[in-house]
Amino acid sequence: MLEDKIIQNADFFIKAINDHNERMSKIKTVNKLQTTELKDISIYLRIRPLMPPEIEQNSFEICLPNKNNPYKACVYEPAFRFDNKPVIKTQNFDFDYVFGPNDDNKTVYDNSIQSIVEVSLAGALGVVLCYGQTGSGKTYTITGIEEYLAVDLFNKMDKVINDMNLRSLETFNDRPFEITVSFFEILGSQCYDLLNNKEEIFIMEDKFRNMNIKGIKEYDCLTSDDLLKYINIGFSHRKTHATLKNDTSSRSHAICQIRIHNTVINQANDGIIYLVDLAGSERHADSKFHSKERLKETKDINSSLLTLKECIRARTLSTLGLQQHIHVPFRNSKLTTLLKETFDIEYCIRPCTTIFIANVSPNCLDYSHTINTLRYSSPLKVSQKTGYDPLKKKSYNLKDPSTWEHKHVIQWIEKSSNGAINPEFLVPNNENGIQLSNIPEMEFIRRCLLSKGMTEKRAKLFYLKLWGLIVDCRTKQRKAKLSSKPKPKYDTSMDEEMIRRYELEKKLGIYDAPKEEARKKLMELDGKGFN
Ligand SMILES: Nc1ncnc2c1ncn2[C@@H]1O[C@H](COP(=O)(O)OP(=O)(O)OP(=O)(O)O)[C@@H](O)[C@H]1O
């Protein structure tokens, strides 16, 4: 068997991988970028360490972070030539950051997730998705993140209260933030409340296109311990099965929803954090000995993961103005329907941040699983090769906030609020149009309220006015992009014969000639003619 052959040749492969790694360390180092700006969608990779049973098996690591470039991972395929000689093939994959086997959950949390806590407290939407083959460390990663996040959320409240100067508002009370949690799982098209005896719940869109979860129970959390207690109960009720890779493999998408309600600024939408432990993707081949029910389960999981991939990619491309198709297929699965605010840029009216963590096993015997995960996740990070230049300045357009400099922002605020809002309060840090759009709703309203005579309702309307512009502008840009797309050479209703005739007429220069004249000319030239 191939697996036995790989282990028998372990010495060769380990040496080849070490040599390659050594050569890589002599190449110029790429420094880690110190960026504090939150991206709409960030794609990370986490490579777990080899587990003790894998080490006992004499397995070795075939997926490593690139020593000199924290944005790349290197994968080595252990293979054999036709004459049975072992060879190693190398491939590199790009990410927003690669966490290696020595990086613990705290490092992952500090470098990827913690930034969404503050913005969610200010009213934004934060989504964390853990993806990977079964046994690759998704649950390990998400539970670790949840522990740090629960503590951090309660710790940061005070900072946000001070930063937002909430104490100065008349409506300030002794519980400015109400934190509630719910925990549910999605199995195909069914959803179950894991904190309420697995009662069925329903993800629905109301007539205002808002998403609602009918029947879900939300629990009030006064401390981080409360929050963690509910998360642990939820996990213990999740559906699992034994797979080839994991004795308790997760067969559902487990979603922890943390809602942050600001009781001081009631008009603002609640901040929401979704922590999603995706079901372990399993190759169809690995599940072929299972029951019909298991096969259907695997099919459902894989199809929803495919929809998720399409949605993330479509969203990224459309944000960058590179999307050719207007359709983001978020309605194709329950999970993406729930997260529609993240994907549907014509609906979304607040800053959304999505953090996608792909988890892989470094075990040489998991090569095919690991490469599948890398091929799935790495392309989600849209590379600069696509021609998108974030530094390229767009020319000023009164109706497009992304083109506004600080002075345009001031003009817009003064004009659109009829002088009721003082720009010094709303954009005190020289914010440009993009930065203005990135101010979460609560913070936006809070800043508006600093102007004399301003009410929460008026501030909310002003926020919606800005987002009306942003959404209109995005829609227009995408439509313009679509209409500038070259028209297909042939009408799709043309059959083969019509296309042949069209090509021939074009070649003979008689395409626009009257039919009779064209026929004569055609007969003269090739003696065939047509009716
Ligand atoms: N970074 C890590 N450091 C140490 N141990 C890890 C790490 N990642 C995963 N593990 C261990 O690997 C095993 C499998 O991890 P985990 O259960 O998180 O996999 P999974 O991807 O959630 O699998 P499934 O989809 O089947 O539920 C666990 O025993 C876990 O403790």
253 lines ligand 1 (CB under 6 A): no
**Comparing C-alpha atoms, which of 108, 133, 88 is closest to residue 285?**
133
Annotated ligand binding at 417? The verdict is no
Could you tell me if 359 and 427 lie in one domain? no
Tell me the CA–centroid distance for residue 525 and ligand 1, in Å.
73
Could you tell me if 382 and 405 lie in one domain? no
Could you tell me if 432 and 296 lie in one domain? no
Among the atoms of ligand 1, which is closest to the Cα of residue 132?
21
Could you tell me if 57 and 105 lie in one domain? yes
The parent domain of residue 450 ranges over 401-483
Tell me the CA–centroid distance for residue 234 and ligand 1, in Å.
18
Which residues are within 8 A (CB) of 65 and not within 5 positions of it... i.e. 6 or more apart? 47, 72, 73, 74, 98, 99, 100
Tell me the CA–centroid distance for residue 376 and ligand 1, in Å.
19
Q: How many domains does the chain have?
A: 2
DSSP assignments along 406-423, one per residue = HHHHHHHHHHHTTT-S-H
Tell me the CA–centroid distance for residue 246 and ligand 1, in Å.
9
Annotated ligand binding at 141? The verdict is no
Tell me the CA–centroid distance for residue 146 and ligand 1, in Å.
15
H-run or E-run covering 502: helix 496-508
Could you tell me if 405 and 382 lie in one domain? no
In a domain, 509, yes or no: no
**Comparing C-alpha atoms, which of 482, 468, 446, 350 is closest to residue 401?**
468
Could you tell me if 382 and 452 lie in one domain? no
> Rounded distance, CA 467 to CA 401, Å?
9
In a domain, 295, yes or no: yes
Residue type, 464: L
134 lines ligand 1 (CB under 6 A): yes
**Assigned token pair, 234:** 């939820």
Tell me the pLDDT of the chain (531 aa) as tens digits. 778 888 888 888 898 888 888 887 777 666 555 444 557 788 999 999 999 999 988 889 999 988 788 888 999 998 888 888 888 888 889 898 999 999 999 999 998 888 889 888 888 889 999 999 888 999 999 999 999 999 999 999 888 888 777 787 778 888 889 999 999 999 888 899 999 999 999 998 877 777 889 999 999 999 999 999 999 999 888 766 555 555 556 778 999 999 999 888 877 788 999 999 998 876 555 555 566 777 777 788 888 888 898 888 877 776 655 555 556 778 888 999 999 888 876 667 778 889 999 999 999 989 989 998 998 888 887 644 444 444 455 678 888 888 888 999 999 999 999 889 999 989 888 888 888 888 888 888 888 988 888 888 899 889 988 988 888 887 777 666 656 555 545 454 455 556 666 666 666 665 555 556 656 665 665 544 443
135 lines ligand 1 (CB under 6 A): yes
In a domain, 530, yes or no: no
138 lines ligand 1 (CB under 6 A): yes
Q: Is the C-alpha dihedral spanning 152, 155, 158, 159 positive or negative? A: negative
Residue nearest to atom 31 of ligand 1 (CA): 140
Q: What angle do CA 225, 121, 309 make, to 5 degrees?
A: 95
Could you tell me if 321 and 462 lie in one domain? no
Tell me the CA–centroid distance for residue 177 and ligand 1, in Å.
34
Annotated ligand binding at 138? The verdict is yes
Kindly give the pairing relationship between strand 271-277 and strand 199-205: unpaired
241 lines ligand 1 (CB under 6 A): no
Q: What angle do CA 435, 441, 446 make, to 5 degrees?
A: 95
332 lines ligand 1 (CB under 6 A): no
Q: Is the pTM of this model over 0.80?
A: no
Annotated ligand binding at 248? The verdict is no
Annotated ligand binding at 291? The verdict is no
In a domain, 375, yes or no: yes
**Residue 260 contacts residue 179 (beta carbons within 8 Å):** yes
123 lines ligand 1 (CB under 6 A): no
ipTM of the complex: 0.97
Write down which residue in 362, 386, 410 finishes a domain.
Answer: 386
With H, G, I as helix, E, B as strand and everything else as coil, classify residue 180: strand
**Maximum alpha-carbon separation in the chain:** 94
